[in-house]
Amino acid sequence: MSPQHPTGVLSYCKVRKLLYLFLVLADLTFPSLRVSAITAAPDPVTFRQGDGSLVTLWLKGDERLRWAESTDGFTLLPGPDGSYYYAISDRDGNLVPSSFPARDPGQRSQRENLWLSTIPKGLWFNHSQASALISRGNRNPEIPADSGQFQQYHRHLRTQCLPGFHERPGL
């Protein structure tokens, strides 16, 4: 005669197997339920540019495709120095940083305002550029990994999301 398992252990094992099977089937049936990306901050962020000036911007996108927008809707991209610049389209329709650093609307010169009048608001990556950036995780030469923008953003998140915790090295 074979040894009998206690009823509680046997039913626990069956429940675990059924739960696992249910989760696998749900994952295969509803792939849209998977968490695929973390969105950027919902509030505007004040960012210190390389020249020391401050600009208020909206961080957009997720960990795979990211950009920023000025408070009045111009698309911004980080340049080689880590500062944000107004985005323009190159000959191939790819978004690239311009030579004009982003400024708050009240801080722009007449020359910048004149130039911005020729640039459409809400520029977007073309399909092939967006696909390439997503597949590489937005690691492209125009967006330096050591620019400090993400460390500054994460410091902002800690002060907004974890107000009861103090800043500690390594976090």
What is the predicted pLDDT for the residue at 135?
82
Three-state DSSP state, 26: helix
What is the pTM for the complete model shown? Answer: 0.60
Task: Answer whether 111's CB lies under 8 Å from 98's CB.
Answer: no
| pLDDT range class, residue 7, cuts 50, 70, 90 | low
Residue-wise DSSP of 113-138 = HHHHTTS-TT----HHHHHHHHHHTS
Q: What confidence tier does 156 reach under pLDDT thresholds 50, 70, 90?
A: very low
DSSP lists the bridge partners of residue 164 as none
Cα–Cα distance measured from residue 74 to residue 88, given in angstroms and rounded to the nearest whole number: 10
Percentage of the chain modeled with pLDDT above 90? 39
Residue 163: what pLDDT?
Answer: 47
pLDDT tens digits, one per residue of 35-74: 555 556 778 999 999 999 999 999 988 777 788 999 999 9
Residue located via tokens 């980080």: 78
Tell the burial category of 91 from Cβ atoms under 10 Å away from its Cβ (0-12, 13-18, 19+).
Answer: exposed
Which band of pLDDT confidence, cut at 50, 70 and 90, is reported for residue 157?
very low
Residue carrying the six token digits 């792939």: 31
